[in-house]
């Protein structure tokens, strides 16, 4: 241990003196002035901290533990794979049975539009790969200027240089000299803040804005549009009716590829195996991670559709072998975990459960919170739910920033026994519990969030 770190520190103190944490106020944390929780165990939908306190994980870690904690079947698959073949790569024609099985399974699940799978480790690297594929595609087509990528404000696509640029959240840009040059952002499809427009009209407005941006940039310079099927980290907002049909029409007109970031929405989260099934989306490229392994091991996948696959084949004669890949691409232990995880999702019908229990959760929250005029909207899809708080009266306004209302509600939720995430686009708390959630635990969440909101309201 470093000489500057005294021995015999508590776990909490040792952490504050050693780790640089994501999404954390660095100096406050280091000096002990911001919250900290040491999570030691997980069981089903619950996590247990270092004080032995058990709470419902209403956010599945970071929207990822779809099958819940402590699944022996996955643990066994992991151990057996580590024993049989802990590691091998997939470079230069090498492969292994787990990569082959998982690749075939994902293509089968995705349907005939998708032709190949590329494996990585995180949602960020999946989106990084997507951008490289789009650039490669247009180089092969002899369109070297067609390289810009349009993302949406309030998008979250990751935190690396390119995926962080695609992310449409200023916090990820300001101090890091991002976004990187070839990225543009268009309107976030959140009809709640769409003024007086009805949602269908707002969907048209979003498509018109995208069309106008592509024309202003020059369609010959725009390679792809990237989006989540529904806004995730930017506020958990399902798209307004008609949005995806209108947007896809604009993309077709301008020969712009569609990268669908299904890192949150796939594997049952939205009540279907993929978000594209819920909203009728036909992507050229798909990014997968999180629920692919339910967080038991890091793994991402890029699904490559026909157009890009044809260009990759053609390009290899010209450019030689594909200059892209990671040491851990298709890691056998991670692939074995994914196989066991998908077995559970399919066998236990977790997409259907997410649909059914998710609807129960949102309806229960709506009934429990109906008395609070500060609650502007309760929305979601499958087991994704958001409660948005607004100031009273018209026109619609945000609450005073200094109230930090959603952070307060989130802190009170934790006191009541459920982890719910504050989302900083206005005042929103988000829920994304494990897909194994039953009605009894959903009812507990409704009560806990209800009491937390009662308490937060009574403070003002």
Ligand X SMILES: Cc1ncc(COP(=O)(O)O)c(C=O)c1O
Contact residues toward ligand X (CB under 6 A) are 62, 122-124, 127, 156-158, 228, 232-233, 261, 263-264, 289
Alpha-carbon separation of residue 144 from 3, 223, 281 (angstroms): 54, 10, 27
| Complex with ligand X: residue 228 or 381, whichever CB lies closer | 228
Alpha-carbon separation of residue 259 from 122, 138, 157 (angstroms): 16, 14, 11
Question: CB 419 → ligand X: shortest distance, Å?
Answer: 16
Question: CB 63 → ligand X: shortest distance, Å?
Answer: 6
| Complex with ligand X: residue 231 or 250, whichever CB lies closer | 231
Cα–Cα distance, 213 to 226 (Å, whole number)? 14
Structure token pair of residue 193: 């803040």
Question: CB 64 → ligand X: shortest distance, Å?
Answer: 8
Question: CB 228 → ligand X: shortest distance, Å?
Answer: 5
| Complex with ligand X: residue 146 or 331, whichever CB lies closer | 331
Instruction: Please return the burial class of 354, using the count of CB atoms within 10 Å of its CB with bins 0-12, 13-18 and 19+.
Output: buried
Q: Please, which residues bridge with residue 43 across strands?
A: 46
**Using a CB cutoff of 8 Å and minimum separation of 24, what contacts does 98-105 make?**
98/330, 98/332, 98/335, 98/336, 98/339, 99/330, 99/332, 99/335, 101/335, 101/339, 102/330, 102/335, 102/338, 102/339, 103/330, 105/339, 105/342
Cα–Cα distance, 441 to 447 (Å, whole number)? 10
Question: CB 81 → ligand X: shortest distance, Å?
Answer: 21
Question: CB 165 → ligand X: shortest distance, Å?
Answer: 13
Question: CB 300 → ligand X: shortest distance, Å?
Answer: 7
Question: CB 85 → ligand X: shortest distance, Å?
Answer: 25
Report which of 417, 423, 422, 427 is spatially closest to residue 448, judged by C-alpha positions.
Answer: 417
| Complex with ligand X: residue 98 or 127, whichever CB lies closer | 127
Question: CB 157 → ligand X: shortest distance, Å?
Answer: 5
Residue 203 CA to chain centroid, in angstroms? Answer: 22
| Complex with ligand X: residue 277 or 447, whichever CB lies closer | 277
Structure token pair of residue 200: 């269908």
CB-closest chain residue to ligand X: 123
| Complex with ligand X: residue 165 or 233, whichever CB lies closer | 233
Of the chain, the end-to-end C-alpha distance in Å amounts to 48
The enclosing H or E element of 301 equals: strand 300-305
| Complex with ligand X: residue 151 or 344, whichever CB lies closer | 151
Residue 323, SS3 per DSSP: coil
Structure token pair of residue 50: 């270092």
DSSP secondary structure string, 22-72?
TTS-HHHHHTT-S----EEEEEBTEEEETT--EEE-TTHHHHT-TT-B--H
| Complex with ligand X: residue 158 or 376, whichever CB lies closer | 158
| Complex with ligand X: residue 266 or 449, whichever CB lies closer | 266
The enclosing H or E element of 139 equals: helix 123-140
| Complex with ligand X: residue 64 or 391, whichever CB lies closer | 64
Question: CB 120 → ligand X: shortest distance, Å?
Answer: 9
| Complex with ligand X: residue 163 or 205, whichever CB lies closer | 163
Helices and strands per DSSP (H, E), number in the chain: 15, 14
Cα–Cα distance, 436 to 16 (Å, whole number)? 34
Helices (H), 348-438: 350-369, 405-416
Question: CB 288 → ligand X: shortest distance, Å?
Answer: 10
């Amino acid at each position: 241990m470093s000489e500057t770190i005294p021995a015999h520190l508590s776990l909490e103190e040792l952490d504050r003196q050693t780790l640089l944490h994501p999404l954390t106020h660095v100096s406050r944390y280091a000096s002990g002035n911001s919250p900290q929780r040491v999570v030691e165990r997980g069981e089903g939908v619950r996590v247990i901290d270092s004080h032995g306190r058990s709470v419902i994980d209403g956010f599945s870690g970071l929207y990822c533990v779809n099958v819940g904690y402590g699944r022996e079947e996955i643990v066994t698959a992991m151990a057996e794979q580590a024993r049989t073949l802990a590691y091998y790569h997939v470079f230069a024609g090498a492969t292994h049975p787990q990569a082959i099985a998982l690749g075939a399974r994902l293509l089968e699940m995705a349907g005939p539009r998708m032709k190949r799978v590329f494996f990585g480790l995180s949602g960020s690297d999946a989106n990084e790969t997507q951008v490289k594929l789009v650039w490669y595609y247009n180089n092969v087509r002899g369109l070297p200027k067609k390289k810009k990528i349009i993302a949406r404000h309030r998008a979250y696509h990751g935190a690396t240089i390119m995926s962080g640029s695609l992310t449409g959240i200023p916090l990820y840009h300001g101090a890091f000299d991002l976004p990187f040059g070839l990225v543009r952002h268009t309107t976030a499809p959140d009809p709640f803040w769409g003024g007086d427009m009805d949602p269908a009209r707002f969907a048209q407005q979003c498509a018109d804005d995208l069309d106008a941006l592509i024309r202003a940039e020059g369609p010959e310079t725009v390679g792809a549009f990237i989006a989540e099927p529904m806004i995730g980290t930017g506020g958990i907002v399902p798209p307004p009716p008609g949005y995806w049909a209108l947007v896809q029409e604009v993309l077709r007109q301008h020969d712009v590829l569609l990268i669908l970031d299904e890192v949150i929405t796939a594997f049952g989260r939205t009540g279907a195996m993929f978000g594209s099934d819920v909203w009728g989306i036909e992507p050229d490229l798909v990014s997968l991670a999180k629920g692919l392994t339910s967080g038991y091991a890091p793994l991402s996948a890029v699904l490559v559709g026909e157009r890009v696959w044809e260009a990759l084949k053609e390009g290899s004669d010209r450019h030689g072998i594909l200059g892209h890949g990671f040491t851990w691409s298709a890691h056998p232990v991670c692939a074995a975990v994914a196989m066991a995880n998908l077995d559970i999702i399919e066998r236990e019908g977790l997409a259907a459960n997410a649909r059914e229990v998710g609807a129960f959760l949102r309806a229960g929250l709506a009934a429990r919170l109906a008395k609070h005029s500060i609650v502007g909207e309760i929305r979601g899809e499958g087991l994704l739910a958001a409660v948005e708080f607004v100031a009273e009266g018209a026109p619609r306004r945000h609450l005073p920033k200094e109230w930090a209302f959603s952070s307060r509600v989130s802190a009170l939720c934790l006191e009541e026994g459920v982890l719910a995430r504050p989302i900083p686009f206005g005042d929103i708390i988000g829920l994304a519990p494990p897909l194994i959630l039953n009605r009894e635990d959903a009812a507990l969440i409704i009560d806990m969030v209800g009491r937390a909101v009662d308490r937060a309201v009574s403070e003002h």
